[in-house]
Structure 1
Amino acid sequence: MDDPLATAIPDYAHRVAMYDMDRTITRSGTYSGFLMHVAQRRQQWRLLLLPLVGLAGAAYSLRLIDRSRLKAINLRLLVGKRFRRTEIAPLAESYADKVVARGLHPAALDQIAADREAGYRLLLATASFHLYVDAIARRLGIDDVLATRLDEPDGTDHIHARLAGDNCYGDAKFARIDGWMAANAITRDVAHIRAYSDHVSDHPMLHFADEAVATTPSRKLKRLAPQMGWQVVDWRARRGR
């Protein structure tokens, strides 16, 4: 497959293509969709709690709570304070099927395929939960995943509706990328890195890359990208698949 971003680059020991997920690969955000998918199929009475979800969103808009707290509250309301992985896993799989079937940018799939063919190691770095991101990544043939983790006490099948560590977003996401590179013995001087994102919060990841691509960018990223010399592409415009 032809690489839409193909350029003549030196031979490096490592080639890494880093992708954000929500609104980069996917057409829309996946977090709220996952919560609704689970509530509708598992405990429909939790849909009665949607007004509380709205109040939590308002609190976040007013900066009374941070993004991490918002995600934990919504998870607790629509999925539960504590739940079994064996119970949620089939719902994560069916949600991944739904997203992959009709929720992806065809042009993102083209670029993923081109990067894979060009020998890039594919890394998906997203603030969404490992709980369902892993299932989406498997369907896309992604090599490695960095995502927001939930508290899973050792030796139990239970998952708690609270984050384990930081929300994998912005600077925290880049810290996870840095740790992943160290764990995989990938040093910056022997790696050629591509990065793709739709959102300005991924500035650290995009700035780190040799080739940074603002994909169907948000308003702020669309303004920033030309100043930084980053390529801008609109993946909504290509309907090749």
Structure 2
Amino acid sequence: MTELALFDLDHTLIPFDSSQEWGRYMMQQDMAPEGFAARLDQFQEDYVAGTLDMDAYLRYFAAPLANYSRTELDQWHERFMDAVVRPQITAEARQLVQQHLDAGHLCGIVTATIDFVTRPIAREFGVKHLLAITLETANGQEDGAYTGGWVGIPTFREGKVTRSEMWLQDMGLNWDSFAAIHFYSDSMNDLPLLRHASHPVATNPDARLKVLAEQEGWPIIQLF
């Protein structure tokens, strides 16, 4: 039996919220309406407080992407990776992921950020399995233009557990298929999936998760 290693992304493997940073980048490129980044900051505050309206957040975040072709968006995102993401990935974060990959563990990133923003970041870590919020495309084509909507179950709170189970089932696996299940997260929003892990790790934890981890005796690590 192999082991399963799951990672949250924002503030866990990277020291920032990728949707917020992408929003600021869109503002810099005149791709989004005035005040877009500030509104994303408010959504982030709601997320930390556990009061995020995911439906409202997704509608707001996805809308500007429908104004551009996938080719344009991919070109902008590659520049975003060079300017914002790659310089901030720490050696410690890369080493953490790599040690699980080298051990032959099944690795996945499970994030409540959209797939367009996070898929290139997952590739940067060498992780081919990404569970993220899936944006809707025209006619359901994988490379089609974005419509401003999304599909499926958002990978948020209990949705991270559900989507992980669906992903494993697609491979003919379940939680019992693994000798150990690791999950790294910074947020109390991820408590449902942390409870499913045999080895939960509070990673750069927020204040509430740090208190819980100390009570539960979970490891606490800092990657940045």
> Do the two structures share a fold, i.e. TM-score over 0.5?
yes
Distance in 2 of aligned mates of 1:73 and 1:149? 15
Deviations for 1:169-210, whole angstroms, at most 9, x for unmatched residues?
A: 111111100111111112322302111000011112111112
Is 80-89 or 119-128 further displaced after alignment?
80-89
| Pairwise CA distance, 1:222 | 0.5
Contact 1:83 1:160 in 2 (8 A): no
Q: 2:95 aligns to what?
A: 110
Contact 1:121 1:143 in 2 (8 A): no
Q: 1:30 aligns to what?
A: 18
SS of residue paired to 2:34: helix
Q: 1:160 to 1:111 in 2, by over 3 A?
A: same
Q: 1:53 aligns to what?
A: 39
Distance in 2 of aligned mates of 1:155 and 1:225? 41
Pick from 167, 173, 179: which aligns with 2:154?
167
Give the counterpart letter for 1:154 in structure 2: N
Q: 1:148 aligns to what?
A: 133
Is 148-157 or 206-215 further displaced after alignment?
148-157
Write out aligned runs for 1:5-16 (5 A). 12=1, 14-16=2-4
Deviations for 1:26-64, whole angstroms, at most 9, x for unmatched residues?
A: 0111101112223322x36x4534498379759969999
Matched, 1:19 2:4: no
Write out aligned runs for 1:149-228 (5 A). 149-154=134-139, 157-191=144-178, 192-228=180-216
Matched, 1:39 2:24: no
| Pairwise CA distance, 1:225 | 1.2
CA RMSD of aligned residues (A): 2.8
SS of residue paired to 2:172: coil
Distance in 2 of aligned mates of 1:59 and 1:233? 23
Pick from 115, 118, 122: which aligns with 1:137?
122
Identity of matched residues, %: 23
Distance in 1 of aligned mates of 2:41 and 2:185? 29
Matched, 1:229 2:217: yes
SS of residue paired to 2:165: helix
TM-score, structure 2 as length reference = 0.85
Distance in 2 of aligned mates of 1:203 and 1:122? 19
Pick from 106, 109, 123: which aligns with 2:108?
123
Give the counterpart letter for 2:173 in structure 1: I
Contact 2:23 2:40 in 1 (8 A): no
Contact 2:24 2:37 in 1 (8 A): no
TM-score, structure 1 as length reference = 0.80
